[in-house]
Structure 1
Amino acid sequence: MRQLSQSLALIALPLSLLSAGVTQAAEVELPRTMAWTAYGTNSSGYAQAVAIGNMLQNHYGTSVRILPGDNDVSRMTPLKQGRVDLCACGIASYYGAEGVMMFAHPDWGPQPIRVLTTSTASFGLSLAVAGDLGVETPADLAGKRIAYIRGDDALNKGTEAYLAFGGLTWDDVERVDYPGYARSFDGIIAGDVDASFTTTVTPPAQQLASSPRGVSWPVLDPDDAEGWERMLAVAPYFQPHEVTAGAGDVSADNPVPSASYPYPIVVANQDLDDKVAYGLIKALQDNYDDYKDAAPGAVGYALEYQDLTWVLPFHDAVVEYYKEIGEWTDEMQAHQDSLIERQELLLETWNAFIEDAPSDEEAFRDAWMQARATALRDAGFDPVFE
């Protein structure tokens, strides 16, 4: 993940974009109500959003309304339309900023997304496999029935990355389509499918572990250089991770060598009010002890787990907060500036492309991806997606 981050070019962005009110702020100022989108009600991301919402209500009188969504479209559309303040999203937020996959569509394009905070804790992001199959590594998934979640590029890309680690593609397994994430786990328990991508701590994985089939997590050997090269070629935001929390018998005493990336990724549009962005990150850090044990994975919001040079830019007011507490470096600022330049370039390229774009959806996508890659390369950036 850091390897991808370091591949991006570095420039400078004027700090005058920060409002004077935020620069001088010392107290949390939050609205009386906020609306978030999150994963479904049985997900760890939803549970974390509830825990944070309870903290905000108890300390600041802010009521948080959480709208669950079964797929990326239902989670990110309200953010795009300005109907919610934040999205406790998955890696689809990165796809949105890049304008790829489901976002390579006339209704979307690159999104001006900014990170508020992320959670990276003891859990992993992996394929939950029925425990009665004897699967030990991704290579063992050959010929198995693998869930494909319609409208959820993030989960499907994660599955594709795990298959790639084992030298497999979708052509080497039996794809079984589901309309939503939770339904795929019902399918595993019922014996209709064998694996689905998730976090290791999510409630559906716990339910699978308690079922007659049980659960297993494929091992990713950290020394398998070729396997990691294949995986990162598909999804460069992954990184090796020793998982110490998960359904089944995963624990600190019985860790699983696996992979992870931040989940949830709490994002907003770039025009989210500075006071709201600043107040939220300060509230999350000041009151960390009040919610860190209230939901699986919530420990991952600690300052020590924040990757400040990842693949998405932070909101300007969040940057200001990190500066105030002495956690922001010149290297981080240069990286932030590079990400914003990349995003601005993508938006400019999209606006020019859309004026005379093909009407056919497939032709539109192909032409956009080519225009996108050309613009990024010409500016010295790695397109990452082709």
Structure 2
Amino acid sequence: MLKFRYKFLCNSNVLSRAFCTALSFALLVCFGPGPRAEGLPRTFGWTAYGTTSSGYAVSVAIGNALADDGYRLRVIPAKNDISRLTPLRAKRVHFAATGIGSYLAQEGVNDFGTRRWGPQKLRLIMMSWSNTNTVVAAATMDTGVKTVKDLAGKRVVWVIGAPALNMNMEGVLAFGDLDWSDVTRVVVGGQKAAMQGLIEGTIDAAIASTNTSALYQLAGSPRGLYFIPKPHDDVAGWHRMNLKAPWRKPSIGTAGVDLSVENPLEGGSYGYPILITYATRDEQMAYDLAKLIHINYEEFKDAHFSGVGFAMERQVFDWIVPYHDGAVRYFREIGVWTE
């Protein structure tokens, strides 16, 4: 109604041109044309793995929770690390929900060790340290695989443009004193294709989170699902794996396909998804997002297994990727950040 009256008055010469100009400016200031110049825009976006991934699912859950505060989160699915960070670097999205690819991009190694990329000044907002095993090797039951050593000669996935997935699988193979020469490497274009390959029978093992949605479909298929454990008392195996993937830490998975406190999985994990942006991102925007995730935690924590990992008491502040100044400012404000 206000906009209608403005249009009528100014188009019918009832008011002077000078007054209409002033009125236009006042309306712009008071109501705004859209996103604010500083702080988190009411509509913002981030990238995540494909629609079958746990990172995508928990991102949607967070978006639904933030909607009650008047924010609209657009979650853009991407099939690998490069395609998740490319829109972020091009400023088409504000953040990215990534895996350990964030660390590889920061260091400018592997697929990011090119002239086109090189070291990226990425910064953390928050990450999920959930009850899942983030980087489990998922095999199909019909392969008969029980240990990592059993992967010898099996069809193991390699995802183009996803160094994090591939390096994690390399670490798994090292746990069993294997490498890529001991398996049949199956190259696919994205994580969704990897999960589909497990279901369709073209792949025998792939890296995933225990709560990846596609694994529920695999578990109910004729091929079946088996999570390959990494026993914590296998010191030599863990040493070999950490030489390839030093970010992986022993963990007990109790969330995911057929997992519970009564039926846990002995394996390894790291924070996932890892919510990042560039160091140049507006400090108030990073502050706003950290605060919104924290104060809305109860609204999304039970919507997906990964949601619980965003609890403030689970955050690891001394990590291999630094936090954004805006997030740090919020953490200091609530008394959880210490120098």
Into which bin does the TM-score normalised by the smaller protein fall? 0.7 to 0.9
SS at 1:279's partner residue? Answer: helix
Residues 1-386 of structure 1: pairs in structure 2 closer than 5 A: 30-59=40-69, 61-124=70-133, 125-247=135-257, 249-330=258-339
Q: Name the structure 1 match of 2:31.
A: none
Q: Name the structure 1 match of 2:15.
A: none
SS at 2:62's partner residue? Answer: helix
Tell me the C-alpha RMSD between the 2 structures. 1.3
SS at 1:263's partner residue? Answer: coil
Mark the structure with the bigger radius of gyration: 2
- What is the CA–CA distance in structure 2 between the aligned matches of 1:113 and 1:304, rounded to whole Å? 23
Letter in 1 for 2:189: P
SS at 2:52's partner residue? Answer: coil
TM-score by length of 1: 0.76
Letter in 2 for 1:163: L
- What is the CA–CA distance in structure 2 between the aligned matches of 1:287 and 1:192, rounded to whole Å? 41
Tell me if structure 2 keeps the 8 A contact 1:76–1:87: yes
Residue identity over aligned pairs, in percent, reads: 45
5+ unaligned residues in a row in structure 2: which ranges? 1-37
After TM superposition, give the deviation of residue 131 of structure 1 in Å: 1.2
SS at 1:217's partner residue? Answer: strand
After TM superposition, give the deviation of residue 241 of structure 1 in Å: 0.6
- Matched residues, number: 301
TM-score by length of 2: 0.86
5+ unaligned residues in a row in structure 1: which ranges? 1-27, 331-386
Once the two structures are superposed, residues 226-258 of structure 1 have per-residue CA deviations (whole angstroms, 9 ceiling, x without a partner) of 1111111001100001010122x3211110100
After TM superposition, give the deviation of residue 303 of structure 1 in Å: 0.9
Once the two structures are superposed, residues 324-343 of structure 1 have per-residue CA deviations (whole angstroms, 9 ceiling, x without a partner) of 2221222xxxxxxxxxxxxx
Q: Name the structure 2 match of 1:343.
A: none
Which portions of structure 1, spanning 4 or more consecutive aligned residues, are displaced by more than 2 angstroms? none
After TM superposition, give the deviation of residue 295 of structure 1 in Å: 2.1
- What is the CA–CA distance in structure 1 between the aligned matches of 2:112 and 2:202, rounded to whole Å? 30
SS at 2:203's partner residue? Answer: coil
Q: Name the structure 2 match of 1:3.
A: none
After TM superposition, give the deviation of residue 29 of structure 1 in Å: 5.3
Letter in 2 for 1:184: A
Tell me if structure 1 keeps the 8 A contact 2:130–2:305: no
After TM superposition, give the deviation of residue 201 of structure 1 in Å: 0.3
Tell me if structure 2 keeps the 8 A contact 1:47–1:296: no
